[in-house]
């Protein structure tokens, strides 16, 4: 009988430093500071002192029937009984003058070298999806995007090749073909996925060069920061994804509120309840908070008022429309909405890897572009964006003009967004809004002067 028992192994506790508990015949249990227990065997072969890690102790394996000797390999999770079976194998190898530790490495290397690129890709995806990989585990959305790129653009060309056959020239040719067929964004991701698969193989002990390191991303494509105005189909994708990301419901509503009103990010973040007039359905932003230094009035659509009602219910004790998470006396941080949008983009890329990222200011640009495409009056749109007229006299006179028309236009904009989410056309909504705006009576204009 050995010195150790399963009962003793189960109660071993980690300490500040690794410590060992002897078993028999040169084997001991090593307990790491993280609580991992592994069986190790000290021996001498050909005049050298060596150590073999027989396997990691598994309480689950201890509860199952002991596996047959042929099913056991060095390095796997084992019970105490199975570890002693492997110890006996190792002792026989030493008696023959063989190094069990060296044999273990050679077998692992031979097995690794036998894997194709496709095999290593599967190993990479499995590792990155495994919760036991700790910080190495990727977010589901990121992993899904990389898997999609692999399945659609890489597997057919590289999966059956040995790693050594994936040369820089072959990879660059593939990237160029993908760029021509699927676009530059996908081509760049092809290089990245190949880079990461090879790094995983290298990190697993394989001595192989990484072909992706010989190819600079700039030789495939470069991406300049650009202004984004979302198309109706992109708006539909964003608003649909917004309902399913993990952000707080109020933050998801905040992103939509910015899109509904077309305001700048800072104008929303620092907004206070004293600026909101629910009865008149208006939001009056004081001059000191406006870029142009002039008071700006935002007519509120029914959808925008619904969001504000929810905010008031949640954050009525705060002076801000949407306070910070931990302090009701401060607004949300400058980066919060962008983080929500980043998660939305990740969600969309699970189905559309080529979807381009965007920021909060692009929502304002989408607001402007959408209304211009609908051919609403330029003056109404410019006033809604709080752009100062070039004519200084007009700027003074028209500060709060076109409120009646802008109210109709912004309600139409909100209805347009709802229609797009449903996959419906907004043409009739736009035509009706233009007709009603053209019929604004003079008595309604008095309020604008």
Concatenating the DSSP letter of every residue in 242-301 gives HTTSSS-HHHHHHHHHHHHH---HHHHHT-BGGGEETTTTEEEE-GGGSTTSS-EEEE--
Residue 92 is predicted with a pLDDT of 92
Reported as a single tens digit per residue, the pLDDT across 149-189 is 999 999 999 998 988 899 999 999 999 999 999 888 899 99
Residues 77 and 197 in one domain: no
Residues 361 and 397 in one domain: yes
pLDDT level of residue 31 (50, 70, 90 thresholds): very high
Structure tokens at 223: 């991406």
Q: What is the mean pLDDT of residues 34-40?
A: 92
Residue 412 domain-assigned?
A: yes
Q: What is the mean pLDDT of residues 430-448?
A: 73
Residue 227 domain-assigned?
A: no
Reported as a single tens digit per residue, the pLDDT across 228-244 is 899 999 999 999 999 88
The C-alpha atoms of residue 336 and residue 49 are separated, in whole angstroms, by 57
Q: What is the mean pLDDT of residues 277-296?
A: 91
Residues 171 and 272 in one domain: no
347 touches 241 (CB < 8 A): yes
In 3D space, the residue among 64, 16, 65, 9 whose CA is nearest the CA of residue 39 turns out to be: 9
Residues 168 and 57 in one domain: no
pTM: 0.52
Whose tokens are 């330029």? That residue is 378
Residue 335 is predicted with a pLDDT of 85
Structure tokens at 413: 């904009």
Residue 353 φ then ψ, to 5°: -60, -20
Which of 194, 219, 244 lies at the terminal end of a domain, its last residue? Answer: 219
User: Considering the chain, what is the average pLDDT of its residues?
Assistant: 87
**Into how many domains does the chain fold?**
3
Residues 29 and 89 in one domain: yes
What range does the domain containing 33 cover?
Answer: 6-112
Which of 112, 135, 170 lies at the terminal end of a domain, its last residue? Answer: 112
Task: For residue 174, give the CATH number of its domain.
Answer: 1.10.150.130
């Amino acid at each position: 009988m050995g010195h150790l028992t399963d009962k003793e192994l189960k109660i071993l506790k980690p300490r500040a430093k690794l410590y060992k508990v002897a078993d028999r015949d040169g084997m001991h249990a090593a307990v790491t500071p993280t609580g991992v227990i592994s069986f190790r065997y000290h021996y001498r072969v050909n005049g050298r002192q060596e150590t073999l890690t027989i396997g990691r102790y598994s309480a689950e394996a201890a509860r199952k029937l002991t596996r047959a000797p042929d099913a056991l390999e060095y390095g796997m999770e084992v019970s105490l009984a199975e570890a002693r079976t492997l110890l006996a194998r190792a002792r026989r190898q030493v008696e023959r003058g063989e190094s069990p530790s060296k044999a273990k490495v050679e077998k692992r290397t031979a097995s690794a070298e036998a894997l194709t690129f496709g095999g290593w890709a599967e190993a990479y995806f499995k590792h990155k999806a495994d919760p036991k990989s700790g910080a190495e585990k990727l977010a589901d959305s990121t992993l899904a995007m990389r898997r999609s790129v692999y399945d659609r653009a890489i597997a057919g060309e590289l999966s059956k090749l040995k790693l050594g056959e994936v040369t820089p020239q072959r990879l660059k040719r593939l990237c160029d073909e993908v760029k021509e067929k699927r676009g530059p964004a996908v081509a760049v991701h092809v290089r990245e996925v190949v880079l990461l698969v090879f790094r995983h193989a290298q990190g697993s002990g394989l001595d192989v060069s990484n072909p992706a390191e010989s190819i600079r991303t700039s030789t495939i494509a470069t991406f300049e920061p650009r202004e984004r105005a979302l198309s109706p189909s992109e708006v539909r994708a964003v608003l649909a994804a917004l309902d399913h990301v993990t952000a707080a419901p109020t933050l998801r509503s905040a992103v939509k509120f910015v899109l509904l009103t077309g305001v700048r990010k800072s104008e929303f973040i620092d907004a206070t309840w004293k600026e909101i007039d629910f009865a008149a359905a208006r939001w009056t932003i004081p001059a000191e908070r406006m870029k142009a230094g002039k008071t700006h009035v935002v007519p509120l659509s029914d959808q925008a008022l619904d969001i504000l009602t929810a905010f008031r219910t949640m954050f009525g004790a705060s002076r801000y429309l949407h306070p910070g998470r931990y302090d009701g006396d401060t607004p949300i941080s400058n980066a919060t909405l962008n983080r929500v949008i980043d998660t939305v983009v990740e969600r969309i890329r699970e189905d559309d890897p080529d979807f381009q990222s965007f920021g909060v200011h692009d929502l304002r640009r989408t607001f402007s572009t959408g209304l211009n495409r609908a051919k609403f009056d330029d003056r109404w749109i410019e006033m809604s964006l709080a752009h100062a007229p070039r004519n200084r006299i007009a700027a003074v006179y028209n500060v709060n003009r076109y409120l009646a028309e802008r109210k109709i236009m912004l309600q139409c904009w909100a209805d347009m967004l709802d229609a797009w989410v449903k996959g419906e056309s907004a043409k009739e909504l736009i035509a009706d809004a233009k007709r009603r705006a053209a019929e604004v009576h003079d008595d309604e204009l008095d309020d604008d002067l």
